[in-house]
Amino acid sequence: MEVPVGKKNDKKSKKDKKSKKSREHVPLVRIGVVDTMFARYDMGQAARDELAACAGYGDTFTVIARTVPGFKDLAVAAKNLIEKDGCSIVVALGMPGSAPIDKQCAHEAAQGLMLAQLLTSTPILEVFVHEDESDDPKILASVFENRSRKHARNAYWMLFEPEQLRRRAGQGVRQGFDDAGPLTFR
Amino acid sequence: MEVPVGKKNDKKSKKDKKSKKSREHVPLVRIGVVDTMFARYDMGQAARDELAACAGYGDTFTVIARTVPGFKDLAVAAKNLIEKDGCSIVVALGMPGSAPIDKQCAHEAAQGLMLAQLLTSTPILEVFVHEDESDDPKILASVFENRSRKHARNAYWMLFEPEQLRRRAGQGVRQGFDDAGPLTFR
Amino acid sequence: MEVPVGKKNDKKSKKDKKSKKSREHVPLVRIGVVDTMFARYDMGQAARDELAACAGYGDTFTVIARTVPGFKDLAVAAKNLIEKDGCSIVVALGMPGSAPIDKQCAHEAAQGLMLAQLLTSTPILEVFVHEDESDDPKILASVFENRSRKHARNAYWMLFEPEQLRRRAGQGVRQGFDDAGPLTFR
Amino acid sequence: MEVPVGKKNDKKSKKDKKSKKSREHVPLVRIGVVDTMFARYDMGQAARDELAACAGYGDTFTVIARTVPGFKDLAVAAKNLIEKDGCSIVVALGMPGSAPIDKQCAHEAAQGLMLAQLLTSTPILEVFVHEDESDDPKILASVFENRSRKHARNAYWMLFEPEQLRRRAGQGVRQGFDDAGPLTFR
Amino acid sequence: MEVPVGKKNDKKSKKDKKSKKSREHVPLVRIGVVDTMFARYDMGQAARDELAACAGYGDTFTVIARTVPGFKDLAVAAKNLIEKDGCSIVVALGMPGSAPIDKQCAHEAAQGLMLAQLLTSTPILEVFVHEDESDDPKILASVFENRSRKHARNAYWMLFEPEQLRRRAGQGVRQGFDDAGPLTFR
């Protein structure tokens, strides 16, 4: 598309294009974080806070953030973070509502995130907190904070410390609530 | 396709092709608006009215409108607005009916809009008002008007003022009804 | 595929290929009509009858017809009508049965038609009459006839008279049963 | 992929590649038949028996058979029968179980077959017999045999005798059970 | 993508790229195994144990293993095992939970695995054990172990001994529980 698009007008993306051509330096790894106006908690902030606490932040890797209206808008935004902004992984955060139609919309949003991953061959971590996971706003808020942070950390591990995932294989690891732990065979 | 297709016979699209080759001038940004005969409210008019009230209308950006039979026809029309008419974003408006089969059809229509976005890497804002969102025709009509306008405004923001979205991240913003507002953690 | 395929052995498609290369004349616009053996009404005949009554039939545009076993076979047939037979639009007609599994199959068939549209950037009008839309065979037959004809007319309008659709935007237009009409705001 | 894969080691596929390059002879049309270990009836045998009774078997057309673990494995196998083995159509046979999760898996398997068709522009006839279509194993077995044979015949017709399908349009034709027959309008 | 990605830093994938260019030796066939932290059993270990017991392990074929956070992350990981790591088949292992939302997520994960297969034309065996398949943790653990091993064996058969599958066609073969066996017609 030759038309100028507002959200790509930041200076970084222009520099990127330049660096791709000249290949003068190895660019920082970029982690994308995309969240929504619809959610009732600033999930993107939680994810960015966690990433800012990871080793190499600002040095080995950087974070590119976007906000879209609702969770159905996450997929194409995540795809563009990968294709146009050069992100190696994306954390996509949203809050499906509690009505039946919201469940269907969440399904469509999730299918979109799945498809975006497969079309880009790049992981997009879906971080959905369903509004009805708890009636208590405090508990729900803690689920928002915890799950957003845990999946941001997972994204970091997937890029830089995959052995952290390998050693937890089959261990019933959870995000948002306590780990379920492994079953025992004998 | 070499066959002449009626809806592409308007002069603009011919000029566009020319301008792509010669690149004599930067074309206006185009926002697509596609609606249906099936809906019981002129959602497209509401969206176009809102866009006409945005800064730069007719100058920085213009609107291209299409009408299709029903909401399942929105996806390919939106894709063509992007690919053939050069739209940078599309607002797709429809009204799913209240019968169970209508819910399934809405799901298929929404999946189509999701896929169209991912195949074009371009946002398409799905604006669906379900016929059973209210029993009161007056309230329903206000939902039609408000949601269509709010999403048209969102489309404008996504192209020209992304910071409007960023500052509302996690604030429980809604279209059609009042905002839900953010949860508080403490 | 280099293998000879029976259904492509008709003389028309051979002529088409020739005309594409030599471009000696502007070919007729083609409208595809695909129906099924499974349906309990000759929906394809109704659609073809309607198209035969449209201005320019046989002169400006022509109709190419196919029959497949069931409604799940419509999508790839419609795609081939577009890609191999050069149709500018397709009317796809089928009858989902009344059992729960039939609803799921209808969903899969509809998703296929959606995908076929998006992969070809060409409209395919899904004309499904569900066997349980009426218990009265006479009423059901009239729904078959009316909906097949109305959507065939829509296909014609989309190609040749898009203003017919524009002026009916948001008017609650229906196919098969009476129009629902527009809501009023005030 | 440069790695040697066991199932492609048969001599035929090697000959095919050769013939594609030299184009010394028109290869036989190939019909693919893929079935599963999971099904409780040898559906592939029934389909192959029917095809062996069709005119031109072994002369005009030949059959290539594959077996996969379960019905979710049918789609990629069918796609490979088309893309790597040169089949012009595929008959894909499977038996979804009776538990709710089986219905969901059948849905996924069917969506896969739909997608495989659209990605290859080649028909794949889905022949599913649901384990709960009858409580009587004898009746169920007859459904397996009849539906597998009828769809194998449909595949043959689609390639070599499309007029057989055309003349049955809208006639309520069924596979597995008796035909439903057409509705009458008057 | 030019950015360095942690999980591709192992020496093997670098050697592979080299061998693709020089084609000095036929590389080992690779079987991918991808599992999750979410599952409550080390399914990947079971699959790898089974493959290690197959003829030619380490000689004719080798195994490449990955762990991802949850089952929705399996699809893109499997696709990358095929595209970037050169696997000829992948065993994808996960455990959907027992809540309704988990069923929907399992559906999305399964659709992703289906799509990944079709986009790569390569089989990915979905090995899902639903947490509610048994209330008894011992039985559930045995289902995990048995199903993971059986499908790992299926993957091996598909590559190296397809006749093992052919001779079991329609025999009601199961993984995790006992075989259902074939129906009898007479």
Are C182 and B42 within 8 A, CB to CB? yes
Query: What is the model's pLDDT at position A126?
Result: 98
For residue B118, name the pLDDT band (cuts at 50, 70, 90).
very high
CB of A105 less than 8 A from some CB of B:
yes
> Mind listing the pLDDT tens digit for each residue in C33-52?
999 999 999 999 999 999 99
Q: Provide, as residue numbers in chain E, all residues whose Cβ is less than 8 Å from the Cβ of A88.
A: 1, 3, 5
Residues B62-78 have a mean pLDDT of 98
Q: Which of C44, C75, C84 sits opposite D117 (nearest CB)?
A: C75
Establish if E112 touches chain A: CB-CB under 8 angstroms: yes
Residue C168 has pLDDT above 70, yes or no: yes
Chain B, 153-182: which have a CB under 8 Å from a chain C CB? none
Closest residue to C6, CB basis, from D20, D30, D159: D159
Lowest-confidence range among A182-186, D109-113, D146-150?
Answer: A182-186
Could you say which of E121, E165, E170 has the minimum Cβ distance to residue D69? E165
Please state, as a whole number, how many other Cβ atoms lie within 10 Å of the Cβ of residue B119: 19
CA D32 to chain centre: 6
Report which of C77, A38, D115 is spatially closest to residue B115, judged by C-alpha positions. Answer: D115
Partners for D (CB, 8 Å, 3+ pairs)? Answer: C, E
Which pLDDT tens digit goes with each residue over A4-55? 333 333 444 444 444 444 444 555 999 999 999 999 999 999 999 999 999 9
pLDDT at position D27 is: 58
Mean pLDDT of all residues in C161-181: 95
Are D44 and D81 a contacting pair, CB within 8 Å? no
Which residues of chain A lie closer than 8 angstroms to E43, CB-CB? Answer: 170
Q: What is the reported pLDDT for B100? A: 85
- Quote the distance between the C-alpha of residue D114 and its chain's center: 13
* Band of residue B16 on the pLDDT scale cut at 50, 70, 90: very low
Q: What are the b/e assignments for C89-114, b being 16+ CB within 10 Å?
A: bbbbbbbbbeeebbbbbbbbbbbbbb
Whether residue B3 and residue C158 make contact (CB cut-off 8 A), yes or no, is: no
A112 contacts B174? CB cut-off 8 A: no
Mean pLDDT value across chain C = 88
**Which residue of E110, E118, E183 is in closest CB contact with D116?**
E118
Q: Is E45 on the interface with A (CB under 8 A)?
A: yes
Question: What pLDDT score does B84 carry?
Answer: 98
pLDDT at C10 > cutoff 60: no
Phi, psi values for residue C31, rounded to 5°: -110, 125
- pLDDT, tens digit, for every residue of D162-182? 999 999 999 999 999 999 999
Phi, psi of A20 (to 5 degrees): -65, -40
Residue A3's pLDDT is: 31
Indicate the pTM of the whole model. Answer: 0.88
Residues of E within 8 A of A166 (CB-CB) are: 65, 67
Q: Tokens for C40, please give them.
A: 């309990």
- What is each CA distance from A50 to A91, A146, B183, E36, in whole angstroms? 12, 10, 20, 22
pLDDT band at A186 (very low <50, low <70, confident <90, very high): low
Q: Does C183 touch chain D (CB under 8 A)?
A: no
Pair of tokens at residue B73: 């026809």
Strands E29-36 and B29-36: unpaired
3-class SS of residue D109: helix
Asked if B56 is an interface residue toward chain A (Cβ–Cβ < 8 A), one would say no
Q: A2 contacts in B (CB within 8 Å)?
A: 20, 23, 26-27
Which has the closest alpha carbon to C107: B177, B101, B123?
B101
- Looking at residue D141, its pLDDT comes to 95
Tell me, yes or no, if D79 comes closer than 8 A to chain E by beta carbon. yes
Which pairs with CB-CB distance under 8 Å and at least 24 residues apart come from C5-10?
A: C5/D29, C5/D88, C5/D159, C6/D158, C6/D159, C6/D160, C6/D161, C6/D162, C7/C66, C7/D158, C7/D159, C7/D162, C8/C84
Burial class (CB in 10 A: 0-12, 13-18, 19+), E2: exposed
Specify the pLDDT at position B119. 98
**Residue D40: pLDDT above 90?**
yes
Q: Residues A20, B172: contact at Cβ < 8 Å?
A: no
Q: Which residues of A touch B122 (CB under 8 A)?
A: 1, 76
Which residues in A lie closer than 8 A to residue E101 (C-beta atoms)? 103, 130
Q: What is the mean pLDDT of residues B94-102?
A: 91
pLDDT in tens, D75-106: 999 999 999 999 999 999 999 998 888 999 99
Whether E23 and chain D come into contact, CB under 8 Å, resolves to: yes
Q: Which amino acid is at C140?
A: L
How many beta-carbon pairs below 8 A join chains D and E? 132
Give D7's pLDDT tier (boundaries 50, 70, 90): very low
Give the three-class secondary structure for C57: strand
Helix, coil or strand: residue C67: strand
Q: How far apart (Å, rounded) are the C-alpha atoms in residues D23 and D38?
A: 39
The predicted-structure confidence for C64-88, as pLDDT tens digits, reads as follows 999 999 999 999 999 999 999 999 9
Provide the pLDDT for residue D154: 98
Q: Flag whether pLDDT at C9 surpasses 60.
A: no
Give the closest of A88, A175, A185 to E145, CB-based. Answer: A185
Strand segments (E) across A70-177: 89-94, 124-128
- Asked if pLDDT for residue C112 goes beyond 90, the answer is yes
Lowest mean pLDDT among C97-101, D50-54, D116-120: C97-101
- What's the pLDDT at D6? 35
Residue E57 near residue E28, CB atoms below 8 Å: no
Q: What percent of chain C has pLDDT over 70?
A: 84
- Contact at CB, D107 and C104, closer than 8 angstroms: yes
Distance, CA of D63 to CA of D32 (rounded, Å) = 6
- ipTM over 0.90 threshold: no
More confident of the two residues E185 and B136? B136
Asked if residue C1 has pLDDT above 60, the reply is: no
- pLDDT tens profile A100-142: 889 999 999 999 999 999 999 999 999 999 999 999 999 999 9
Which residues does chain E have with pLDDT short of 70?
1-27, 184-186
How far apart CA E96 and CA A7 sit, in angstroms, is 38
The DSSP call for residue E57 is B
Angle (deg, nearest 10), helices E100-120 and E74-83 = 20
Residue of C nearest to D108 (CA): C108
Q: Calculate mean pLDDT across residues B40-55.
A: 98
What are φ and ψ of residue D16, in 5° steps?
-55, -50
Kindly state whether D116 is in contact with chain E, defined as any CB-CB distance less than 8 angstroms: yes
Partner B contacted by C103 (CB < 8 A): yes
Closest partner CB to A83 (pick from B121, B158, B161): B121
Residues 125-154 of D with CB under 8 A from C: 125-126, 130, 151, 154
Mean pLDDT of the C92-117 span: 95
A27 vs A2, residue with greater confidence = A27
Q: What is the CA radius of gyration of chain E?
A: 17
E27 contact D CB<8A: yes
Q: Are E70 and E37 in contact (CB under 8 A)?
A: yes
pLDDT above 70 coverage of chain D, percent: 84
